[in-house]
Structure 1
C-alpha cells in the first residue's frame, strides 16, 4: 500500500472513532445526516464539450453536495468517500455501458502541493470506493494558477499544455475522471495529453457539475447506473 493510501486509511479509521458532524449541515453524530445523504442519490447529466468529449456527471455541485465535497477535498473528511461512491459508480457505469467497451479510468492528478497538503488523492480515493482501480496515466508538466479565480478564456490558457502522460497509454481505451466540471478546460487538456500519447479517450466522468455546466437530465432508460 502506498503512503497516500495508508494516510487515507488512517484518516478513515480515525473518523470512525472520533466525534463527527454532518459534513454538509453540521448536525452532530453522523458523517452525513439522513437529509443530506439523500441528495447524493445519482442524478445523471450528460454534456458534450465543444471538442466533442461527452461528460457524464452524477450530481449537481450545489447545496449539501457542494458543502460535503469541499469538506472531502479541503478538510480531510476522507470518510465521505464511501458516501460519494454510489454516485461515482453510477456515472462510470453509465459511461462505460453506453460504449460497450472495457474502459480504464484515468483520474485528473492532484497538484504536488495538493498531495502534500492533504496526504491523499481525492479522485483516486473515490474510484477506490467505487470499486475501480485508477490508471495513473497523467501528470502535471508545470504549475498552473488556481482555476477558481479565472474566467473561461483564462482557464483555457492557464491549462494549455500543462499535462503530460506517464507510462505508455497508447492504444488503451480510457475515461478521464475528475471531481467537478465547470467549463471543461481541465478535461479537454487531459484529453489532449492522452490523445497525443496514442490513448483513445472515449468519454469523461465527474462526480459533480457546477450549475452553469449542468446539461439536461439523462432519461432513466439511458442511465443503467442510476440505481446503483
Structure 2
C-alpha cells in the first residue's frame, strides 16, 4: 500500500525523496537512516568557539539541505531542525538562547524568508517538547553592513568579509547563548557573530549547525572531531 501511495504521489504532484529522488512524500527510510544525526565538534577558523554539527555537507545531507533552502521542502526543514536540536543537546547548555545568524537582504529576497530563524524556531520547539529544555530564540544580532556572498570565497576572504559585520544588543541577562546556522564551513561567520555578542556582554557557549563542509580549497575529506576529544 505504501509503495502504491508513493508512486501515485510522484505521478500526480512530482513528490520525491530529496535525498535519493525516489518517489515519496518526504525523506525515505533509507535516506533517513543515512541522515541520523551524529553530533561532532567541527574545527573552525580562529579559536575559542566550540561549534558542533550533526554531519557532513555532502551526499544525501547536501541534497536534503539544498532541497530545503531552494524549495522550502518541509520534511527537509524538519530534519535540519532535528539535527540542530541534537547538537544543542550535545553542547550540554541549559536554558539556551538560540541566536540565528542574521541573513542579508539579498538572501531574504531570494528565499522569501529568514531560513536560519525558521530553523532556530523549529529546533527550539523540539528542545522544549522532547528534551524538556527551556530553549528560546532571541534576535540579538543584526548586520551592520551587507556582506558578500560567501560561496567561492577562501578562508582569508571569508574572514575579511564577515569581520566587524555584526552588532549585538547589550546583554540584559545571564542566560547562555548558542549561535545557530544551517551549514558551517570555515566558521568565519559564527566567529564574527560570537565576537559581537561577547563585546555586548553575552555569554556565548558555542555554535551549532545542521551540517559541516570542508573549507574552500581543502580537497581532503571533511575533518570532524568527536566532541569528547581535545
TM-score bracket, shorter-length normalisation? 0.7 to 0.9
Report whether the alignment pairs 1:111 with 2:104.
yes
- Identify if the C-alpha distance between structure 1 residues 133 and 119 changes in structure 2 by more than 3 Å, giving closer, same or farther: farther
Q: What do residues 176-213 of structure 1 show as CA deviations (whole Å, max 9, x unaligned)?
A: 11111111100110011111111111111111111455
TM (norm. structure 2) is 0.78
Gaps of 5+ in 2: 1-11, 126-134, 216-221
Task: Tell me which of 10, 19, 23 is aligned to 1:24.
Answer: 19
Correspondence for 1:159: 162
Alpha-carbon distance, 1:42 to partner: 1.0
The answer to whether the Cα contact below 8 Å between 2:171 and 2:200 also exists between their aligned partners in 1 is yes
Report whether the alignment pairs 1:193 with 2:186.
no
CA separation in 2, counterparts of 1:83 and 1:206? 12
Correspondence for 1:128: 121
Cα RMSD of the aligned pairs, angstroms, is 2.2
> Secondary structure at the residue paired with 1:28?
coil
CA separation in 2, counterparts of 1:133 and 1:21? 33
Task: Tell me which of 86, 92, 104 is aligned to 1:90.
Answer: 86
Alignment of 1:32-71 (within 5 A): 32-47=27-42, 49=44, 50-71=46-67
The answer to whether the Cα contact below 8 Å between 2:27 and 2:75 also exists between their aligned partners in 1 is no
> Secondary structure at the residue paired with 2:42?
strand
> Larger C-alpha radius of gyration, 1 or 2?
2
The answer to whether the Cα contact below 8 Å between 1:170 and 1:197 also exists between their aligned partners in 2 is no
Q: What do residues 124-160 of structure 1 show as CA deviations (whole Å, max 9, x unaligned)?
A: 2222322153211111111111111111111111111
Task: Tell me which of 150, 169, 172 is aligned to 2:171.
Answer: 169
CA separation in 2, counterparts of 1:47 and 1:32? 26
Report whether the alignment pairs 1:216 with 2:206.
no
In the comparison of the two structures, how many residue pairs are matched?
200
TM (norm. structure 1) is 0.79
> Secondary structure at the residue paired with 2:205?
strand
CA separation in 2, counterparts of 1:121 and 1:151? 25
Gaps of 5+ in 1: 1-16, 223-228
Moved more, 135-144 or 40-49: 40-49
